[in-house]
């Protein structure tokens, strides 16, 4: 397996800079993601007259727009898919209410849909915000901080997950002129207003993880070039380059991105421990690749996987069983992935309306034919994924 793969632009960066551009009132954004989540964000921001805003199944769109629509005083109903309306948002709504947002729950307390009825700002005391549900709540609040009278102070309580995404938000806010400091337990945002700025979005490290998995599973000597990735990246999922060394893939930075090289079998680990607290979107990719390569991985930091597009832990357990692997809770919040009798054998993989289930399992085609149900789910983050596989030599029907 040799060649160059085209990655989508970072969805995480794209969705943040779209909000920041709107709050700053201008700036040119280059290389925005083609992902459905980002295109949806663009469309919704472009129609301020809408009385109902549908975030569909996009978590960042729901969370970021809740804060953006509140601070801009929109009178609007914000809703989403049935699954989105099962994902909690009370932590964010409570914080916004303390800042002056007038928000009602349409149906169930603590969950979308939401009815936003304006903004009556007051200078607030420091807000306590739980960090163990979603860092997107924290990022959503941070981005509206310069518009809050007296600025914004957040005190993060409990375990703080996905911390690199908070740092990404802070760096992008600074790029647009904001005064922001993000520490271990506190975030401070000053009142210095945003300024229009231009920004070029990096390629997506989360999407790169599937190519790492393919190189790990491909025939000996395989290598793939991935343009558009930076050594000094804002994306937490860049850690995939370190995690995948245990599964047999070495990363070499080149002028326009990275090259992935397969290591010799003896250079792979037999058992490793990995913490996904700061990179939960890599968990599915690693679990599947570990099963296929025979590496036993003890996985921690998976708590947020229960409230993603699906219950990703349950989904992984069900689908890994189809290829002779297990994901077992061995206690102390540790899940162990292990393959006692790995085989693909025309397995049929369900995707649970989850783009990452489809793409995490797709590399198993290198070990035998398999079927991926509802493949169009990849439109959420990597809409041309299947075409890239075809160009890499896979046969798709």
Return the closest-CA partner of residue 124 out of 156, 89, 154, 92.
154
Quote the pLDDT of residue 306.
82
135 is in an annotated binding site: yes
**For residues 306-317, average pLDDT:** 88
Omega of the bond prior to 358 within 30 degrees of 0, cis?
A: no
* pLDDT band at residue 133 using 50, 70 and 90 as cut-offs: confident
pLDDT tens, residue by residue, 214-224: 999 999 889 99
- C-beta of residue 284 within 8 angstroms of C-beta of residue 360: yes
pLDDT above 70 coverage of the chain, percent? 100
Model-level pTM?
Answer: 0.90
281 is in an annotated binding site: yes
336 is in an annotated binding site: no
281 an active-site residue?
A: yes
The pairing of strands 2-4 and 223-227 is: parallel
The secondary structure element, H or E, covering residue 97 is: helix 90-99
Q: Which fold has domain 2-200?
A: UDP-n-acetylglucosamine1-carboxyvinyl-transferase; Chain (3.65.10)
The secondary structure element, H or E, covering residue 174 is: helix 163-175
pLDDT tens, residue by residue, 18-49: 999 999 999 999 999 999 999 999 999 999 99
pLDDT tens, residue by residue, 49-100: 999 999 999 999 999 999 999 999 999 999 999 999 999 999 999 999 999 9
**What does R_g of the chain's alpha carbons equal in angstroms?**
21
Annotated catalytic residue, options 37, 204, 237, 281: 281
284 is in an annotated binding site: no
For residues 106 and 112, give the distance between their C-alpha atoms in angstroms, rounded to a whole number: 7
59 is in an annotated binding site: yes
Identify the CATH homologous superfamily for domain 205-391. Answer: Enolpyruvate transferase domain (3.65.10.10)
Residues of each domain in the chain carrying CATH 3.65.10.10? 2-200, 205-391
* pLDDT band at residue 305 using 50, 70 and 90 as cut-offs: confident
132 is in an annotated binding site: no
Angle between helix 163-175 and 11-24 (nearest 10): 40
37 is in an annotated binding site: no
Residue 125 has pLDDT above 80, yes or no: no
For residues 301 and 332, give the distance between their C-alpha atoms in angstroms, rounded to a whole number: 11
For residues 356 and 281, give the distance between their C-alpha atoms in angstroms, rounded to a whole number: 8
pLDDT above 90 coverage of the chain, percent? 89
380 is in an annotated binding site: yes
The pairing of strands 334-339 and 371-372 is: unpaired
322 is in an annotated binding site: no
Q: Any idea what DSSP says for residue 125?
A: P
For residues 316 and 297, give the distance between their C-alpha atoms in angstroms, rounded to a whole number: 14
**For residues 297-309, average pLDDT:** 87
């Amino acid at each position: 397996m040799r060649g160059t793969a085209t990655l989508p632009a970072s969805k995480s960066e794209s969705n943040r800079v779209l909000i920041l551009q709107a709050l700053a009132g201008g700036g040119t954004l280059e290389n925005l993601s083609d992902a459905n989540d980002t295109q949806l964000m663009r469309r919704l921001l472009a129609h301020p007259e809408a009385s109902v805003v549908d975030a569909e199944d996009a978590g960042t769109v729901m969370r970021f727009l809740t804060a953006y629509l509140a601070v801009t005083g929109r009178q609007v109903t914000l809703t989403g898919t049935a699954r989105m309306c099962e994902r909690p948002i009370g932590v964010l709504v409570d914080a916004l209410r303390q800042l002056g947002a007038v928000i009602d729950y349409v149906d169930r307390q603590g969950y979308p849909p939401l009815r936003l009825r304006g903004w009556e700002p007051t200078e607030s005391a420091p807000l306590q915000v739980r960090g163990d549900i979603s860092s997107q709540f924290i990022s959503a609040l941070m981005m509206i901080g310069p518009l809050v009278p007296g600025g914004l102070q957040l005190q993060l309580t409990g375990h703080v997950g996905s911390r690199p995404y908070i740092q990404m938000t802070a760096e992008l806010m600074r790029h647009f002129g904001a005064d922001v400091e993000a520490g271990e337990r506190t975030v401070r945002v000053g009142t210095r207003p945003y300024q229009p700025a231009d920004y070029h979005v990096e390629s997506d490290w989360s999407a790169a993880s599937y190519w790492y998995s393919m190189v790990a599973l491909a025939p000996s000597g395989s290598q793939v070039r991935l343009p558009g990735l930076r050594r000094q990246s804002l994306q937490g999922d860049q850690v995939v380059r370190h995690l995948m060394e245990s599964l047999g893939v070495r990363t070499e930075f080149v002028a326009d991105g990275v090259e992935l090289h397969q290591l010799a079998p003896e250079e792979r680990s037999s058992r490793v421990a990995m913490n996904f607290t700061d990179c939960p979107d890599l968990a599915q990719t690693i679990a599947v690749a570990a099963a296929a390569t025979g590496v036993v991985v003890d996985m921690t930091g998976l708590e947020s996987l229960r409230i993603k597009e699906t219950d990703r832990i349950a989904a992984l357990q069900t689908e890994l069983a189809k290829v002779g692997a297990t994901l077992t809770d061995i206690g102390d919040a540790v899940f162990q992935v292990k393959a006692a009798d790995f085989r693909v054998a025309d397995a049929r993989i369900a995707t649970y309306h989850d783009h990452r289930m489809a793409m995490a399992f797709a590399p198993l085609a290198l070990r035998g034919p398999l079927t991926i149900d509802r493949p169009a789910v990849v439109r959420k983050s990597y809409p041309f994924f299947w075409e890239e596989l075809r160009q890499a030599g896979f046969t798709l029907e």
